Structure formats: structure tokens, C-alpha cells
Amino acid sequence: MSKNLTTREEDYSKWYNELVVKADLAENSGVRGCMVIKPYGYAIWEKMQAELDRMFKETGHQNAYFPLFVPKSMFEAEEKNAEGFAKECAIVTHYRLKNDPDKPGKLMVDPNAKLEEELIVRPTSEAIIWSTYKGWVQSYRDLPLLINQWANVVRWEMRTRLFLRTAEFLWQEGHTAHATKKEAIEESEKMMNVYADFVQNFMAIPVVKGLKTETERFAGAEETYCIEALMQDGKALQAGTSHFLGQNFAKAFDVKFANAEGKQEYVWGTSWGVSTRLMGALVMTHSDDKGLVLPPNLAPIQVVIVPIYKSEEQLQAISAAVASVSAALRKLGVSVKYDDRTTQKPGFKFAEWELKGVPVRIAVGPKDLENGTFEVARRDNLSKEVVVADGIENYIANLLSQIQADLFANALSYRENHITEVNSFEEFKSVLEGKGGFVSAHWDGTAVTEEKIKELTKATIRCIPLDRVEEAGSCVFTGNPSVGRVFFAKAY
Amino acid sequence: MSKNLTTREEDYSKWYNELVVKADLAENSGVRGCMVIKPYGYAIWEKMQAELDRMFKETGHQNAYFPLFVPKSMFEAEEKNAEGFAKECAIVTHYRLKNDPDKPGKLMVDPNAKLEEELIVRPTSEAIIWSTYKGWVQSYRDLPLLINQWANVVRWEMRTRLFLRTAEFLWQEGHTAHATKKEAIEESEKMMNVYADFVQNFMAIPVVKGLKTETERFAGAEETYCIEALMQDGKALQAGTSHFLGQNFAKAFDVKFANAEGKQEYVWGTSWGVSTRLMGALVMTHSDDKGLVLPPNLAPIQVVIVPIYKSEEQLQAISAAVASVSAALRKLGVSVKYDDRTTQKPGFKFAEWELKGVPVRIAVGPKDLENGTFEVARRDNLSKEVVVADGIENYIANLLSQIQADLFANALSYRENHITEVNSFEEFKSVLEGKGGFVSAHWDGTAVTEEKIKELTKATIRCIPLDRVEEAGSCVFTGNPSVGRVFFAKAY
């Protein structure tokens, strides 16, 4: 397999698929639509998990674990939710295999082991969790319930792509229950803000916060808050959603509480989630034709050190110098790898670590030892500098912060250049076909228009931005009155 | 629901079930055989996970993630493994529900959405992982592969009990591949030792290390190493297993590598796992009739502080004193909860935190403030002491270490008193029916005898202890020659 990636200009989609595999993030498995997340990719996901988990706990949430399976009748209880997810689910119907009498060595489903009621592999856990909450909530004193679950879910997608759309994926799903509508709405907004904070400040990916239209809303929610990111090819990617569920699930599962006056009321709910899809967003926001570019906060290896030598003696001297720099860096919490493989040349190593997106590379040869310097290269902009060895650990620590900030600033500047206000449908189409990005346009508020525009352009309403200005206008498609602009885009 | 537990003497099994639910560890769900792990129980599991994960990484392993589903044909490839697990698996046969035309609002399995090949919900992941390893291993340079996965698995158990035996459970499964038999055996032994270290030093549960007999071995393994613990009712519990897989899976999935001489060889494998079953072991090793007893290493709350007061003024003075103690404790890494609920009396709080197994309780009233003391109570032995407030944080930190050590020492002493050497089948039966525990007896090495003894007494061979002395003897059942004693017990 050649190390050369297809370039983004040649074929963005091919570039993405190749990069995910070659950088050892993930690969397709022998199971249709399911991926294997490889150790390097999983290490990045673990860093995301750790930070999100910390943020969830800091905002008062606890983790728990609920069953993988949802009995069909339980799944049916919240009608919209069931309809929204029933079309793409894996269904367990039997619980035993037996030896196939006609084919020695082969197994067959035992027809005598048919389940009385089919089990759905959870596509999302509202049903199973709200059926449990019924037993946990009696009085207002039991509220709020602030619970999160890290889990795998399955949606039977027909067209799958590594991280972006897979039959099985990993995610977290928060499910909270509250005494009042106000509190539940506040929770939905709070978690959308936690997601935005995480994605922007930890992943260096700028997002637009907004509301989904009714068409794009989560099945069973009253309101869906979302954060939308923009990829390098001008397509949007939904990076996280937070749903205000109203009393829909409480009513479907009869979850009531006695308020302070002893009156029975239905509980108010929220749910919110982000998934391994974020790995796709990470790749498509920062990476380039040489490979992955990782923000230092998420890089499993932040600094790689490559020795350049001709003799064993030189290598020993370099290794000694590297040992003390590595120790100093580790003391500052920086993760370092010393790549002293003797089986590969420096050029090969440089290319490999560029492919894998290590933020900083230090090269050191005999000349450097003489001069008391190291060569420091940034992965993000490929610049190099010669840096004095003494105190280099502080230089590197600052550089890592700088890289994190620069990655965000660059992505933000790209995003800002890709929000285009349009006032006619001609303009609308030409921006979409041209540079892409978010097209900010007036819309008459109807699902019919939304659908029509989608048919004609493949663009959907990504969100009604939370910070939009009230502005009277006329719909870009129908000319009917509008109260403000919404963001359209083609999307992943 | 009354707070009083059934006592262990009344009904050990009922005591266990009640305690798991009342202490908020877990409960049964609306899905047959599947449990809900509640936040308090999950917090304990998270502590186990964090420590095990640290130990795995320290021994060179990386995490990854493989698919939930295993296609039937892949499952069949390693014959023994398939046979061993085929009888208790959940099978996905369809991928869509549709509206039931005969029952408005109800869904039915869409007969047009039948999978071409059935998918097994993983009961264990050797098949899917070895089918992946085929693509990862070409040369000896690609070895060893040292990989672990945190995941859920499903085994269709007919009789389930919270944590001990559930249809779905959480676990970690390590899967490694090596160039030589020797290395693979060393890895299996190393991971058995990691488990023993964790269970003994972190969970305070003594274990016997040993080998399984052929009958009890993992389906598809050449050798199964295990750690066996002893519960308070004299029954054994398998706490972890580590399998030397030989080349069985490499052959089934054609995983070969070119050795240093360029010759193709099959890879050698291991797998090893521990699960949420350890939660059951934790409960049944340390807890008592008042509730849970948690080793400080695993306690989500290590110290609870309860104020005793009559006036708001007293409460304020107490709270001020508590704030500084709490801060000092947290600085030492001790987790503290101040239970200043005004809705509950101290006696209620004491009972609740005893039920939940918080290792240390501090009570403080106006008298204590005057005297500059606190009342410190240990959960494990229920002893109380009055301790000078000044510097109490160091006293508590030491006390927590002491409790951890005492719990292990007590469990060890119980276990030592429950290993009984017997030399006749009469003795064998009378020990089993009497105090229980491990019965150390000679066995003739045949599966027939093993089976016969199991039929007659319900005792199985828990393990051939690794440290057993070679000792000529005659089988306790047949009188045939034996080369050493093995441990029998009734088991969970």
C-alpha cells in the first residue's frame, strides 16, 4: 500500500477514506456497515471521552448503564420515536443456534428458540431509560435525574462511511428528568453549550449553535438544539444534539411525580448525545494532503523525536540528550515518543508521523548536539525552527498551546469565509454549487418549502442560529414572509 | 420498602439480591435477564475500570473497538468456540420493523428485511477479532499485538442474577497475538497475575491462582488460567480467566506471519477477561447484615460527614468546621460527602450510609466543636473513636489504608479457614455440606470422575492450584492414582 494519499482536490471523499485507514484510525470490518476502531483512533476517542466525562460530572451528571435491548412493545410506546427509528434497526428474534443436520460443521438458527417478543438493538435509549425512570421517580425530591450513559448503538444505515455513518457506533447519551419545563429547557441549552465548549476549545472546531426545524428534529422531541460544524469541502456536519423532550416520554411511560403540594404531574425530559462521528469531524476540519493534523489536546503523541545519525556512537550521544528533554517534557504533562527504530530512515519516519498527525516533531543530529539546539517542526503549518536545547520544554509546551489556538483560528476563519448571505434562489444555488458552506437565507417557515429546496439542491436547513437577528424578509424560494435567516448547507 | 435487610443467616441469596437493589448498585430491567447498573453501582465499576485500564496500559496494551455482531459463518470458524457459545446467544435475523396492518399503532418485523446471513450478538470476541488480525499481521515485526477492548457481551443465560449471571454484561477482553508459544504462555500468565494483583490489592479479595481442568476450560483454549475467590457462604466465584489459545484461532482464521527467516508460521494467541461479575464478588466478600462494606479503594464516597444539631446556629458553626476538614481531606485525595440534608435525622443518615458501605463516617455536634474533636466511625467493624480535630485529615487517610488492609486480612483469614484437605469421599461430602469452601482433594485426572462428583455433590473442580505440591495420592472418589490435590467447591 503506497503511503501517498489521494489529494483533497482530486477527490475529497477518497482522501478521507484513505486517510482514516492509513493513519490507523479505523477500518471496515467483516460485518456489514460496522467498523473496527484501531488503537491509534481509539486513543483519540479515549481523550474525547475523558474530557467530556469530566465536563458531564462537573455539571452534576452521573454515569449509569441500561440494557442493549429494547423489547418491541417498549419501543412502540413513544410513537414518533418508534416511527423515526423503526426503519433502521437490528432485530433479535432467536436465542440459540444448533448444528445444521444437513451441513456438518455448520450452525443454523434453532427454530425452537424463537423469542416471544422481538428485541430491538437500541438505536437510542429513551424507551428503555424512561421505562426505568418510572420506578425511580415518585416525588419532586427524586428530581432532577441527571444521568449519562457511554454505550454502543445500532442503526441499520444502508450507505455507511467510517466514523461518519456506521451501523454500530459508540456514543454517550444523557437522559435527564426534571420537575419543570423551564428546568428541562435550561438543561438542554446547558448541554448544547457544554458540547460547543468541548468541540471548540478541545477539538479546535468552530460550531454554530442553533435549533433544528421540525423536519430535522429528533423523533419524539419538542425542540432539538444542535451544534453544526463546517468541513473543508464546504459541507456541514452535525456535531452534537441536545433535545428538549417535553413530557412526551413521561406520558408514554407514565412517569409522574408528586409536586411539593402533593399533586401528580408528568416529568419533563431531555436527552443529548455526541458520537464517534466527531472523529470524522476532526479529520475533515484540520487534516491535509500529507495526512492527519491533530490538535495537541487530542493527540495521543504530542511530540515525536527523531534521531539523525550515521554511527552507533552518534546515536548514543543523541539518545542521552533526548532522554533529558523527554523527561522534562513529560514533567510538564507532554506526551513524547522517541522514535529510535533502526529499521527505518528519518525520511520515512517524518512521513509516518506527519500521516499520523503528531503536532510537533523534534529532529536531532550530531550538529545539533554540538550547537546545543534542536530542530522543531510544526505539523499544522509545516514550519521549522532551530531552538536552543536549554529550556526547550517550555518552548514546546507554549508551542503546543499556540498550535491548538492556531488550528481553531484557521478553522474559524475558513468557516467565517463560508457563511454567505443570499437573497435570491439563483444566488442560493450558485453559492452551493460554488464554494459551498453555510448559505444564510430567508425561509418561509414551512416544511413544504424546506423539502422542495432539498429536492432541488440537496441542501437542508442545518439550523436556525440561536444568535440570529430578527429581520423581516422574504423567503428565498417562495417569496413569502420570513422573520429571519436560517443556515442551509449540504451535509454529511 | 423497609430499610431492613434479610440477614445472611436467614437467607444468603435473598440478602444478596436485596442488598444489590437497596444499596443502589443495580436492578432488574424490563428486558429479560438484563440489568440496569445504577449510578452508585456504576461509580464503583468505573473505579475498577480505571485501575484495570491503568494496569493494562502499564503492561503495554492498547484499547481498540471491534463490532458487536459476528456473522454466523465467522462464528462457526473455530469449531469448539462456536459450539461452546452457540447455545446461549442472541441472534439478529432482520433489520427493519414496519407498521402492523392489523394492529394500529403497533409494529411488526418486516419479513422483507431478512438478513442474508444471521448476526450473532458477541458472546465473546475471538472470532471477530481474529478475523481482523488476519489483515494486521504479515511479518514478525507486526507482533506482538497487545489489545484490549471494553465492551458489552450477551449470553442467553436461562437463570440470571444481578451481576453474577446476566444476559448482557460489561467486561474487558484482552486479545493478544504472538510469534512464539512461549511468549503467548507468558502473556496468559502475566495477565492472570495482573488480575490477581488487582483483585487482591484493589478489591481486597484474596484469590487462588490455578489452571482449569479440560472440562472447565474456555471453549477454544489450550489452557485456561483462573483466579478463584471464596464468598462468605462458602461458595467459590471465578473472578477472572486468562486463556492460552495455542494456534487454534490463528488456524481457524488463517493468521500467519513471516518469521525472521521468511518462513510462514501460524500466530499464537491469548485472551483474558474480567466482568461486572466482580461487583458480585465485592458484595459477597465484605458486606454484612447492615449493608454494603466497600474497600476504600473502590468507594465512590470514602468519608461521609453528618452534622448533629438542634439549631440553625449550631448547624452553621458545624458547617464551617466541616468545610475546613473537607478541604484538607480532598487535598489528600480523599472523597468526602457532607450530608447536611435538613429533611432527614442523623439516625436515618447513619443507616443509609451504612447500607451504602461508605468506609468512614464522621459525626460532629456542638460538644465536638467545644472539645475540638470529631467522632469517627468505621463501617467495616463498626468501631467508633473520638479524634482530635487538628490534623484529623492524616488520621483519616491512614485509617482508610488500615481499613483496606484489614478487609483483605479478614477475607484472607476466612478463606484460609475454608480450605480443607480431605482424604475420603465421606469427608468430602461432609465438608461441602458443612462449612463449605474449597475442598482440597486428590483426583484421578479424568473427566468422568469430575462429572460423577459434580452429579453427586454439585461441586466442580475450581482449579488445579498453581502452587500445589506434587504429592502421590489416591483419588478421593475412585481410589485411582493422583499426582496432587485440586480444589473442589460449589460455585457461583
In this structure, what CATH number is given to the domain that contains residue A322? Answer: 3.40.50.800
How many Å lie between the alpha carbon of A292 and the closest alpha carbon of chain B?
Answer: 19
Same domain, B252 and B373: no
How many Å lie between the alpha carbon of A96 and the closest alpha carbon of chain B?
Answer: 5
> Which residues does residue B377 pair with via DSSP β-bridges, in sequence order?
B361, B384
Query: Pick from A356, A274, A345: which is nearest to A39 by CA?
Result: A356
Q: Is residue B291 part of a domain?
A: no
Q: What is the pLDDT of residue A251?
A: 97
Which of A97, A112, A119 to mutate to test binding with chain B, by most B CBs within 10 Å of its CB?
A: A97
Q: What is the mean pLDDT of residues A407-434?
A: 98
Q: How far is residue A199 from each of residues A8, A55, A225, A228, B47, measured CA to CA in Å?
A: 23, 12, 15, 10, 27
Say if CB B27 and CB B21 are below 8 A apart. yes
Same domain, A371 and A441: no
Contacts of A353 (CB under 8 A, 6+ apart): A301, A304, A306, A339, A361, A379
Task: Please write the tens of the pLDDT for every residue from A277-291.
Answer: 999 999 999 999 999
Residue after which a domain boundary falls, among A348, A378, A407: A407
Task: Select from A63, A65, A86 the Cβ nearest to the Cβ of B107.
Answer: A86
Q: What is the pLDDT of residue B462?
A: 98
Task: Please write the tens of the pLDDT for every residue from A257-274.
Answer: 999 999 999 999 999 999
Q: Is residue A143 part of a domain?
A: yes
Same domain, B56 and B202: yes
**What domain range is A453 assigned to?**
419-489
Task: Please write the tens of the pLDDT for every residue from A218-250.
Answer: 999 999 999 999 999 999 999 999 999 999 999
Task: Select from A62, A90, A94 the Cβ nearest to the Cβ of B95.
Answer: A90
How many Å lie between the alpha carbon of B141 and the closest alpha carbon of chain A?
Answer: 10
Q: What is the pLDDT of residue A4?
A: 85
Say yes or no to pLDDT of B2 above 70.
no
Say if CB A73 and CB B100 are below 8 A apart. no
Q: What is the mean pLDDT of residues A310-327?
A: 96
Q: What is the pLDDT of residue A3?
A: 59
- Chain B residues whose beta carbon lies within 8 Å of the beta carbon of residue A64: 36-39, 42
Task: Please write the tens of the pLDDT for every residue from A453-479.
Answer: 999 999 999 999 999 999 999 999 999
Q: Is residue A196 part of a domain?
A: yes
Q: Is residue A380 part of a domain?
A: yes
First to last CA, chain A: 28
SS3 assignment, position A381? coil
Task: Please write the tens of the pLDDT for every residue from B189-222.
Answer: 999 999 999 999 999 999 999 999 999 999 999 9
Same domain, B444 and B363: no
Q: Is residue B296 part of a domain?
A: no
Q: What is the pLDDT of residue B158?
A: 87
Task: Select from A34, A98, A156 the Cβ nearest to the Cβ of B67.
Answer: A34
Q: What is the pLDDT of residue A344?
A: 93
Residue after which a domain boundary falls, among A407, A440, A472: A407
**At B1, is the pLDDT very low, low, confident or very high (cuts 50, 70, 90)?**
very low
Say which CATH number the domain at A463 has. 3.30.110.30
Say yes or no to pLDDT of A2 above 50.
no
> Maximum Cα–Cα distance for chain A, whole Å?
84
Task: Please write the tens of the pLDDT for every residue from B100-121.
Answer: 999 988 999 999 999 999 999 9
Residue B67 and residue A31: Cβ atoms within 8 Å?
yes
Q: What is the pLDDT of residue A105?
A: 87
Q: Is residue B97 part of a domain?
A: yes
Q: What is the pLDDT of residue A158?
A: 87
Q: What is the mean pLDDT of residues B469-485?
A: 95
Separation between Cα atoms, residue B371 and residue B139, nearest integer Å: 73
Q: Is residue A326 part of a domain?
A: yes
Same domain, B314 and B262: no
**At A163, is the pLDDT very low, low, confident or very high (cuts 50, 70, 90)?**
very high
Average pLDDT over all residues of chain B:
97
Q: What is the pLDDT of residue B3?
A: 59
Contacts of A320 (CB under 8 A, 6+ apart): none
Same domain, B330 and B426: no
Q: What is the pLDDT of residue B331?
A: 97
Q: Is residue A147 part of a domain?
A: yes
How many Å lie between the alpha carbon of B335 and the closest alpha carbon of chain A?
Answer: 14
The number of C-beta contacts closer than 8 angstroms across A and B is: 188
How many Å lie between the alpha carbon of A349 and the closest alpha carbon of chain B?
Answer: 16
Say which CATH number the domain at A74 has. 3.30.930.10
Residue B107 and residue A76: Cβ atoms within 8 Å?
yes
Q: What is the mean pLDDT of residues B11-33?
A: 97
Residue A107 and residue B72: Cβ atoms within 8 Å?
yes
Say yes or no to pLDDT of A123 above 80.
yes
Same domain, B61 and B197: yes
DSSP letter at B469 equals P
> Which residues does residue A91 pair with via DSSP β-bridges, in sequence order?
A120, B94
Same domain, B337 and B469: no
Q: What is the mean pLDDT of residues A432-444?
A: 97
Separation between Cα atoms, residue A307 and residue A339, nearest integer Å: 7
Q: What ipTM is given for this predicted complex?
A: 0.97
Say yes or no to pLDDT of B289 above 90.
yes
- Chain B residues whose beta carbon lies within 8 Å of the beta carbon of residue A42: 62-65
Q: What is the pLDDT of residue B4?
A: 85
Same domain, A428 and A384: no
In this structure, what C-alpha cell is assigned to residue A116?
416471544
Same domain, B84 and B23: yes
Number of domains in chain B: 3
Segment holding A86, helix H or strand E = helix A79-86
Handedness of CA A202, A208, A209, A212 (dihedral sign): negative
Same domain, B305 and B282: no
Helix (H) and strand (E) counts for chain A? Answer: 14, 27
How many Å lie between the alpha carbon of A55 and the closest alpha carbon of chain B?
Answer: 16
Residue A91 and residue B109: Cβ atoms within 8 Å?
yes
Q: What is the pLDDT of residue A1?
A: 39
Q: What is the pLDDT of residue A285?
A: 98
SS3 assignment, position A235? coil
Residue B65 and residue A89: Cβ atoms within 8 Å?
no
One-letter identity of residue A428: F
Residue after which a domain boundary falls, among A250, A281, A312: A281
Nearest CA in chain B to A57: B43
Alpha carbons within 13 A on the beta-carbon side of B396: 32
Task: Please write the tens of the pLDDT for every residue from A3-23.
Answer: 589 999 999 999 999 999 999
Nearest CA in chain A to B108: A72
Same domain, B270 and B376: no
Residue B39 and residue A105: Cβ atoms within 8 Å?
no
